[in-house]
Amino acid sequence: MTEAWFREELYPHWRQSFVVSRELYRADDGLQDIVLFETPGFGRVLTLDGVIQVTTGDEFIYHEMLAHVPIYAHGAVKTACVVGGGDGGMLREILKHQAIQQAVLVEIDAAVVEFCRTHMPSVSDGAFDDPRTEIVIADGLRYMAETERKFDLIVIDSTDPIGPGGVLFTEAFYKDCARCLTPDGIVVNQNGVPFLQGEEVTDTWHRRRPHFADVSFYTAAVPTYVGGLMALGWASHSLRPRHESSDTIAARFQAAPVATRYYTPDIHKACFALPKYVQDLIPGP
């Protein structure tokens, strides 16, 4: 019997493929084409429009790094907003911190939330039902433009800047995020794989620089996001959080530890040390 394969074709010159042990779900809800399958090594894999969004095998790396790095850097996050992130993984990691009083999830597609709640419950691990969670089904671009709320942390858990996800990489959106931050607040987002998507880093720096005092990037190695280190964007009105000492981060982690499989205080400091090829993509000092 011929093996079935899923092929992700993000780049014209490079593909990655997964053996499909079992296809669990396939549907087009009018907004996105959703496919869920199982594969050896990575577990359940969720794809939207042919692009991998999350796997139960390695999702912890991405979610931990976008949640815990800014939370421990800030030191007093009480309110958080996740734009996208309908799988619930980002909520799960943010809500590990007992100091969090409210986490707002802004997801454009209600079907994604319900799908992941049903078919990938280990990713959210109860986060959708946490009393601190508020789920808002809305366009993230419009939400940030219209809300009067202020957040200590905004996590943009979006797809790449192609198709519907592109609006979450615009200067207008970043300006609205800046307006919605508290004075020491932090915005983080996935910024692609710089070796293959270097323009995302450069464009993000240019679009954020007019609206934040501190604009930078840090990295994580996520196996299914192929092409080397993944860049995670960082922006804040304050220079303090990104430059907290190793001792301060370690003390905060010791005082309020959370269970992790990738993040550590040492990783926290090391992830801001960018390879030269990534540094060369950043116009500023």
pLDDT-derived band at 30, boundaries 50, 70, 90: low
Domain regions of the chain by residue span: 5-55, 59-279
Is residue 264 within 8 A of residue 231, CB to CB? The reply is no
87 is known as an active-site residue = no
Hey, what CATH class is 59-279 in? alpha beta
pLDDT (tens digit per residue) in 158-211: 866 555 566 677 899 999 999 999 999 999 999 999 999 999 999 999 999 999
Q: For the residues 266-277, what does the mean pLDDT come to?
A: 98
Residue 285 confidence (pLDDT) above 70: no
Q: For the residues 94-118, what does the mean pLDDT come to?
A: 94
pLDDT-derived band at 11, boundaries 50, 70, 90: confident
Q: For the residues 95-117, what does the mean pLDDT come to?
A: 93
Q: Are strands 43-48 and 33-39 parallel, antiparallel or unpaired?
A: antiparallel
pLDDT (tens digit per residue) in 220-261: 999 999 999 999 999 999 999 999 999 999 999 999 999 999
Q: For the residues 94-101, what does the mean pLDDT come to?
A: 98
pLDDT-derived band at 284, boundaries 50, 70, 90: low
Q: Are strands 151-157 and 79-84 parallel, antiparallel or unpaired?
A: parallel
Question: Which residue did the predictor score with more confidence, 168 or 108?
Answer: 108
* Catalytic, out of 157, 160, 176, 203: 157
CATH of domain 5-55: 2.30.140.10
First-to-final CA distance of the chain: 57
Q: What is the pLDDT of residue 168?
A: 72
pTM summary value? 0.94
HEC assignment per residue over 157-188:
ECCCCCHHHHHHHCHHHHHHHHHCEEEEEEEE
Amino acid at 283: P
